[in-house]
Amino acid sequence: MLVRNFYYYLANQDELVKQYNGKYLVISDRKIIYSSPDDADAFKKGMEMAGLGNFIMQLCTPGEQAYTVKCYTPRVVFSDVRNRQKS
């Protein structure tokens, strides 16, 4: 689920930047459920609205340097999703 949320961000990045540039997005079920200029605020709201392991936080900025995903989950698996997306 977390990877699908990140792919949602990638697929919609250009449109999201127009609306949310410079803000932290809380993405759950492939929807923006909250945005904030403050990462701590975004994390707190993500926990309240979606719960641990059910959302990602993404800094919304243009370009590939924004391809960073922060996963908050009790079970952590690290992988390079950029390589999988191209295949």
What's the total number of domains in the chain?
1
pTM for the full predicted model: 0.76
In three state form, how does the secondary structure of 7-71 look? HHHHHHHHHHHHHHCCCEEEEECCEEEEEECCHHHHHHHHHHHCCCCCCEEEECCCCHHHCCCEE
pLDDT at position 87, please? 44
pLDDT at position 76, please? 54
pLDDT at position 22, please? 95
Each residue of 22-81: pLDDT tens digit? Answer: 999 999 999 999 999 999 999 999 999 999 889 999 999 998 877 755 555 555 555 555
Each residue of 12-23: pLDDT tens digit? Answer: 999 999 999 999
Residue 72 CA, chain-centre distance (Å), reads 11
